[in-house]
Amino acid sequence: SKDGTLIATADDKGLVRIWTAAVAVAGDDAAPAAFEKPTREINIGMLVSRLAWRNDKLQLAVACADGTIRIINPADGGITGPIGAHDGAISGLVFSPNNQQIYTSGADGFVRRWPTTIPAALTFEGLAKPAKAVALHPNGSLIAVAGEAGSVKILKRADGVVAHTLEGLSGTIAAIAFNRTGNQLATGGTEKIVRVFDVTSGKVVHEAPAAESPIS
Protein backbone atom coordinates (compact mmCIF):
# COMPACT_ATOMS: atom_id res chain seq x y z
CA SER A 1 0.00 0.00 0.00
CA LYS A 2 1.06 3.61 -0.48
CA ASP A 3 1.89 4.07 3.21
CA GLY A 4 3.85 0.81 3.30
CA THR A 5 1.73 -0.86 5.98
CA LEU A 6 0.04 -3.51 3.83
CA ILE A 7 1.36 -5.89 1.16
CA ALA A 8 -0.80 -7.82 -1.29
CA THR A 9 0.29 -10.96 -3.15
CA ALA A 10 -1.47 -13.19 -5.67
CA ASP A 11 -0.69 -16.43 -7.49
CA ASP A 12 -1.58 -18.29 -10.68
CA LYS A 13 -4.48 -20.06 -8.95
CA GLY A 14 -6.14 -16.79 -7.94
CA LEU A 15 -5.36 -16.78 -4.22
CA VAL A 16 -4.95 -13.20 -3.02
CA ARG A 17 -3.28 -12.66 0.34
CA ILE A 18 -3.03 -9.42 2.31
CA TRP A 19 -0.18 -9.04 4.79
CA THR A 20 0.68 -6.52 7.46
CA ALA A 21 4.13 -5.28 6.52
CA ALA A 22 6.93 -6.50 8.80
CA VAL A 23 8.98 -3.84 10.57
CA ALA A 24 12.72 -4.25 10.10
CA VAL A 25 14.84 -4.60 13.22
CA ALA A 26 17.26 -1.70 13.74
CA GLY A 27 20.98 -2.38 13.27
CA ASP A 28 23.14 -3.31 10.32
CA ASP A 29 23.54 -6.94 11.40
CA ALA A 30 19.94 -7.55 12.35
CA ALA A 31 17.92 -10.05 10.35
CA PRO A 32 14.71 -8.78 8.70
CA ALA A 33 11.63 -9.22 10.83
CA ALA A 34 9.62 -12.32 9.94
CA PHE A 35 6.17 -12.02 8.40
CA GLU A 36 3.29 -13.41 10.38
CA LYS A 37 0.44 -15.24 8.67
CA PRO A 38 -1.57 -13.18 6.17
CA THR A 39 -4.33 -11.11 7.72
CA ARG A 40 -6.74 -12.08 4.94
CA GLU A 41 -6.99 -14.64 2.12
CA ILE A 42 -9.41 -14.22 -0.79
CA ASN A 43 -9.82 -16.83 -3.50
CA ILE A 44 -10.48 -15.23 -6.90
CA GLY A 45 -10.30 -18.60 -8.67
CA MET A 46 -8.13 -17.70 -11.67
CA LEU A 47 -4.68 -16.39 -12.51
CA VAL A 48 -4.15 -12.81 -11.31
CA SER A 49 -2.12 -10.57 -13.63
CA ARG A 50 -2.06 -7.26 -11.71
CA LEU A 51 -2.81 -5.83 -8.26
CA ALA A 52 -3.25 -2.16 -7.32
CA TRP A 53 -3.89 -0.56 -3.95
CA ARG A 54 -6.20 2.40 -3.62
CA ASN A 55 -4.19 5.33 -2.25
CA ASP A 56 -6.03 5.20 1.10
CA LYS A 57 -5.78 1.34 1.12
CA LEU A 58 -9.57 0.95 1.48
CA GLN A 59 -9.73 -1.10 -1.73
CA LEU A 60 -7.50 -3.53 -3.61
CA ALA A 61 -8.08 -3.83 -7.36
CA VAL A 62 -7.40 -7.25 -8.91
CA ALA A 63 -6.93 -7.84 -12.64
CA CYS A 64 -7.34 -11.39 -13.94
CA ALA A 65 -5.97 -13.23 -16.96
CA ASP A 66 -9.42 -13.38 -18.58
CA GLY A 67 -9.62 -9.57 -18.83
CA THR A 68 -11.88 -9.02 -15.83
CA ILE A 69 -11.32 -6.92 -12.73
CA ARG A 70 -12.55 -7.27 -9.17
CA ILE A 71 -12.45 -4.93 -6.19
CA ILE A 72 -11.60 -6.35 -2.76
CA ASN A 73 -12.51 -4.67 0.51
CA PRO A 74 -9.51 -5.51 2.73
CA ALA A 75 -11.52 -4.88 5.90
CA ASP A 76 -13.91 -7.79 5.37
CA GLY A 77 -12.64 -9.61 2.25
CA GLY A 78 -15.74 -8.68 0.29
CA ILE A 79 -15.48 -8.77 -3.52
CA THR A 80 -17.19 -6.48 -6.05
CA GLY A 81 -17.27 -7.84 -9.61
CA PRO A 82 -16.20 -9.48 -11.79
CA ILE A 83 -16.42 -6.75 -14.42
CA GLY A 84 -15.43 -7.50 -18.02
CA ALA A 85 -12.76 -4.87 -18.59
CA HIS A 86 -10.84 -6.05 -21.68
CA ASP A 87 -10.92 -8.60 -24.47
CA GLY A 88 -7.74 -10.36 -23.41
CA ALA A 89 -5.20 -9.99 -20.62
CA ILE A 90 -5.00 -6.80 -18.54
CA SER A 91 -1.52 -5.26 -18.67
CA GLY A 92 -1.92 -2.14 -16.53
CA LEU A 93 -3.93 -1.29 -13.42
CA VAL A 94 -3.84 1.94 -11.36
CA PHE A 95 -6.06 4.06 -9.11
CA SER A 96 -6.48 7.79 -9.77
CA PRO A 97 -4.98 10.20 -7.19
CA ASN A 98 -8.46 11.05 -5.82
CA ASN A 99 -9.39 7.34 -5.47
CA GLN A 100 -12.52 7.79 -7.58
CA GLN A 101 -11.44 5.86 -10.70
CA ILE A 102 -9.45 2.83 -11.76
CA TYR A 103 -7.58 2.86 -15.08
CA THR A 104 -6.77 -0.32 -16.99
CA SER A 105 -4.90 -1.14 -20.20
CA GLY A 106 -5.15 -4.42 -22.06
CA ALA A 107 -4.04 -6.65 -24.89
CA ASP A 108 -7.02 -5.37 -26.91
CA GLY A 109 -5.26 -2.00 -27.27
CA PHE A 110 -7.68 -0.01 -25.13
CA VAL A 111 -7.37 2.08 -21.99
CA ARG A 112 -10.50 2.12 -19.84
CA ARG A 113 -11.61 4.10 -16.83
CA TRP A 114 -13.77 2.53 -14.15
CA PRO A 115 -15.30 4.42 -11.23
CA THR A 116 -14.54 2.66 -7.96
CA THR A 117 -18.31 2.38 -7.63
CA ILE A 118 -18.47 -0.16 -10.47
CA PRO A 119 -20.06 -0.93 -12.96
CA ALA A 120 -20.19 2.37 -14.94
CA ALA A 121 -17.24 2.74 -17.31
CA LEU A 122 -15.58 5.14 -19.73
CA THR A 123 -13.50 3.70 -22.59
CA PHE A 124 -10.55 5.41 -24.23
CA GLU A 125 -9.14 4.38 -27.57
CA GLY A 126 -5.66 3.07 -27.05
CA LEU A 127 -3.07 1.94 -29.54
CA ALA A 128 -5.05 -0.28 -31.93
CA LYS A 129 -2.57 -2.98 -30.90
CA PRO A 130 -1.74 -4.75 -27.62
CA ALA A 131 -1.14 -2.34 -24.74
CA LYS A 132 1.65 -3.16 -22.31
CA ALA A 133 1.43 -0.51 -19.59
CA VAL A 134 -0.57 2.48 -18.40
CA ALA A 135 0.37 5.45 -16.21
CA LEU A 136 -1.67 8.30 -14.80
CA HIS A 137 -0.51 11.92 -14.46
CA PRO A 138 -0.17 12.95 -10.77
CA ASN A 139 -3.07 15.40 -11.10
CA GLY A 140 -5.18 12.91 -13.06
CA SER A 141 -5.41 15.06 -16.20
CA LEU A 142 -3.45 12.79 -18.58
CA ILE A 143 -3.07 9.08 -19.26
CA ALA A 144 -0.01 7.52 -20.88
CA VAL A 145 -0.38 4.15 -22.59
CA ALA A 146 2.44 2.05 -24.04
CA GLY A 147 2.47 -0.87 -26.44
CA GLU A 148 4.31 -2.73 -29.15
CA ALA A 149 6.41 -1.31 -32.02
CA GLY A 150 7.44 1.76 -30.01
CA SER A 151 3.86 2.94 -29.46
CA VAL A 152 3.35 5.43 -26.64
CA LYS A 153 0.50 7.94 -26.52
CA ILE A 154 -0.45 10.58 -23.97
CA LEU A 155 -4.22 10.97 -23.78
CA LYS A 156 -6.37 13.67 -22.17
CA ARG A 157 -8.29 12.06 -19.34
CA ALA A 158 -11.39 14.22 -19.80
CA ASP A 159 -12.22 13.04 -23.32
CA GLY A 160 -9.56 10.53 -24.41
CA VAL A 161 -8.17 12.83 -27.14
CA VAL A 162 -4.51 12.15 -27.98
CA ALA A 163 -2.29 14.97 -26.67
CA HIS A 164 0.99 13.50 -27.95
CA THR A 165 2.30 10.43 -29.77
CA LEU A 166 5.89 9.98 -28.60
CA GLU A 167 8.50 9.61 -31.34
CA GLY A 168 11.88 7.90 -31.49
CA LEU A 169 10.87 4.66 -29.75
CA SER A 170 11.13 1.11 -31.04
CA GLY A 171 10.46 -2.39 -29.79
CA THR A 172 7.89 -3.19 -27.13
CA ILE A 173 7.49 -0.46 -24.51
CA ALA A 174 6.72 -2.30 -21.28
CA ALA A 175 7.27 0.38 -18.62
CA ILE A 176 6.11 4.00 -18.40
CA ALA A 177 5.97 6.42 -15.46
CA PHE A 178 5.30 10.11 -14.84
CA ASN A 179 7.66 11.93 -12.49
CA ARG A 180 6.36 13.41 -9.26
CA THR A 181 5.47 16.80 -10.75
CA GLY A 182 4.01 15.31 -13.93
CA ASN A 183 6.11 17.36 -16.35
CA GLN A 184 8.15 14.38 -17.58
CA LEU A 185 7.41 10.80 -18.66
CA ALA A 186 9.94 7.96 -18.64
CA THR A 187 9.72 4.93 -20.96
CA GLY A 188 11.58 1.63 -21.19
CA GLY A 189 11.25 -1.74 -22.92
CA THR A 190 12.90 -4.32 -25.12
CA GLU A 191 15.19 -1.71 -26.67
CA LYS A 192 16.90 -1.58 -23.22
CA ILE A 193 17.01 2.25 -23.23
CA VAL A 194 15.30 4.55 -20.73
CA ARG A 195 14.09 7.78 -22.33
CA VAL A 196 12.58 10.79 -20.61
CA PHE A 197 10.06 12.95 -22.49
CA ASP A 198 8.74 16.43 -21.82
CA VAL A 199 5.00 16.01 -21.28
CA THR A 200 4.09 19.45 -22.66
CA SER A 201 5.94 19.08 -25.97
CA GLY A 202 6.14 15.30 -26.30
CA LYS A 203 9.87 15.62 -27.11
CA VAL A 204 12.67 13.50 -25.63
CA VAL A 205 14.82 15.41 -23.12
CA HIS A 206 17.10 12.63 -21.86
CA GLU A 207 18.26 9.23 -23.09
CA ALA A 208 20.17 6.88 -20.78
CA PRO A 209 22.84 4.44 -21.98
CA ALA A 210 21.48 1.04 -22.95
CA ALA A 211 20.92 -1.37 -20.07
CA GLU A 212 22.14 -4.97 -20.10
CA SER A 213 18.63 -6.43 -20.33
CA PRO A 214 15.12 -5.40 -21.40
CA ILE A 215 13.30 -2.97 -19.11
CA SER A 216 9.98 -4.12 -17.72
Q: pLDDT digit string (tens) for 62-115?
A: 999 888 899 999 999 988 888 888 888 888 999 999 999 999 998 888 889 888
| Prediction pTM value | 0.58
Q: How far apart are CA 216 and CA 198, in angstroms?
A: 21
Structure confidence at residue 31 (pLDDT): 58
Q: Report which of 169, 170, 166 is spatially closest to residue 185, judged by C-alpha positions.
A: 166
Q: Convert the pLDDT of each residue in 156-183 to its tens digit.
A: 888 788 899 998 888 888 899 999 999 9
CB 8 within 8 A of CB 51: yes
Q: How far apart are CA 202 and CA 164, in angstroms?
A: 6
Structure confidence at residue 28 (pLDDT): 55
